[in-house]
């Protein structure tokens, strides 16, 4: 007589919520506290006080930007970007002949740039070579995105602004105007605050690909594909659609009630991790309020009504404003067109992705989870 035993049923949390899949020293998101840190620094403090390049250096190297280190890293960026200039120009020209879409163009440009430069899998590179490639691709991203935007509009890329850094150059390319200090500071704060955010969908995608030993460009293209999904959180332009639909302050509450009654999601509210206010949203709100204006006044009223009505409609769930809502206002104030909001998000997140690619490349173990089969049982062979 034979006996059979059944394996215990393992329930997989939806979306792997709460499942720890790896260790990281890049960033930490503490949703219950509403806190975000990069390495050993508060991400919000960095966003309010640091230059883009300084936060970039901290994320990819783990080193605080001392005066000497800051100058060294800045030189490294400039040298690598200078060596890429001809290839970037050729790639941008090729891509814009094929598509006017900036996000699709960025994905294609990364792949073409990798092919032109003959980059090798991270598996075959040493740490210094991996870092050079990480800096090259993250540093080329704002240049590529800005150039794609200008060529899409029938304009040639502008020469870089002397000594202003990547953020000012990026604003110059996209808006066609030399940015003032307030716009540069506001966009810098946004870019730093969203550089990284734990194991979100796009970052996890980059790490999975990096774990196979693939090249840096392949990791970035995969991450960018994940970012294009509206549920990821990389689509801040959608947060402005609600304000446009409302139009006037007296229509705020009726419009929100109608959306909730129809079962539609309010973009810019709720977050997969934060159970209290999103610290990045609070930062963006402070920046938006400093500039003010009718759009900001409407946003303040919309936020208050939305949070109150969401609490009524979904009791027990803490649905606060997320970074998308106020970031959209800030980017609009900086003069960025709405179609460039997601590409701008990608400019920032490319830094975080490369930091995670570097970290994952140092681990020789491939990411290969298991799945629980729930399909029909195997058929017996017919007689």
Domains and CATH numbers, the chain: 40-183+190-229+339-361 (1.10.580.10), 237-333 (1.10.230.10)
| DSSP single-letter state for residue 30 | E
pLDDT, one tens digit for every residue, the chain (383 residues)? 444 445 555 677 888 888 889 999 999 999 889 899 999 999 999 999 999 999 999 999 998 767 778 888 988 888 888 889 999 999 999 999 999 999 999 999 999 999 999 999 999 999 999 999 999 999 999 999 999 999 999 999 999 888 899 999 999 999 999 999 999 999 999 999 999 999 999 999 999 999 999 999 999 999 999 999 877 866 678 889 999 999 999 999 999 999 999 999 888 888 778 778 899 999 999 999 999 999 999 999 999 999 999 989 888 777 888 899 999 999 999 999 999 999 999 999 999 999 999 999 999 999 999 888 889 999 987 65
What three-state secondary structure class fits 277?
A: coil
Q: Tell me the catalytic residues.
A: 271, 324
Neighbours of 240 (CB within 10 A): 21
pTM reported for the whole predicted model = 0.92
Give every strand in the sheet of 27-30, ordered side by side: 27-30, 35-38, 41-42
Rounded CA separation 256/264 (Å): 10
Non-local (6+) Cβ contacts of 367 within 8 A are: 21, 22, 207, 208, 211
């Amino acid at each position: 007589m034979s006996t059979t035993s059944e394996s215990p049923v393992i329930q997989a949390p939806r979306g792997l919520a709460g499942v720890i899949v790896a260790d990281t020293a890049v960033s930490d998101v503490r949703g219950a506290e509403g806190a975000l840190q990069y390495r050993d620094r508060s991400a919000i403090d960095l966003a309010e006080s640091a230059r883009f390049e300084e936060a970039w250096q901290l994320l990819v190297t783990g080193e605080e930007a001392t005066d000497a280190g800051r100058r060294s890293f800045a030189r490294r960026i400039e040298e690598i970007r200078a060596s890429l200039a001809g290839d970037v120009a050729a790639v941008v020209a090729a891509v814009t002949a094929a598509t006017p879409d900036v996000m699709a163009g960025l994905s294609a440009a990364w792949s073409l740039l990798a092919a032109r430069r003959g980059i090798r899998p991270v598996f075959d590179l040493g740490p210094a070579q991996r870092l050079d490639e990480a800096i090259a691709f993250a540093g080329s991203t704002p240049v590529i995105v800005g150039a794609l935007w200008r060529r899409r509009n029938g304009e040639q890329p502008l020469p870089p602004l002397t000594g202003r850094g990547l953020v000012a150059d990026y604003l110059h390319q996209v808006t066609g105007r030399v940015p003032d200090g307030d716009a540069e500071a506001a966009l810098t704060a946004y870019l730093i605050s969203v550089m990284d955010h734990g194991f979100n969908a796009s970052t996890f995608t980059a790490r999975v690909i990096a774990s196979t030993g693939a090249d840096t460009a392949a990791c970035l293209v995969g991450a960018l594909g994940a970012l294009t999904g509206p549920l990821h959180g990389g689509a801040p332009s959608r947060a402005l659609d609600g304000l446009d639909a409302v139009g006037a302050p007296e229509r705020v509450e009726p419009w929100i009630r109608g959306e909730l009654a129809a079962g539609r999601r309010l973009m810019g509210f709720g977050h997969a991790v934060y159970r209290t206010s999103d610290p990045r949203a609070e930062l963006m709100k402070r920046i938006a309020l400093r500039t003010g204006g009718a759009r900001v006044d409407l946003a303040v009223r919309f936020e208050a009504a939305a949070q109150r009505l969401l609490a009524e409609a979904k009791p027990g769930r803490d649905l606060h404003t997320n970074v998308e809502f106020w970031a959209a206002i800030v980017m609009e104030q900086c003069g960025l067109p709405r179609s460039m909001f997601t590409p701008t998000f990608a400019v920032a997140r490319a830094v975080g992705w490369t930091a995670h690619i570097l970290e994952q490349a140092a681990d020789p173990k491939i990411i290969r989870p298991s799945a629980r089969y729930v399909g029909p049982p195997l058929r017996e062979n017919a007689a």
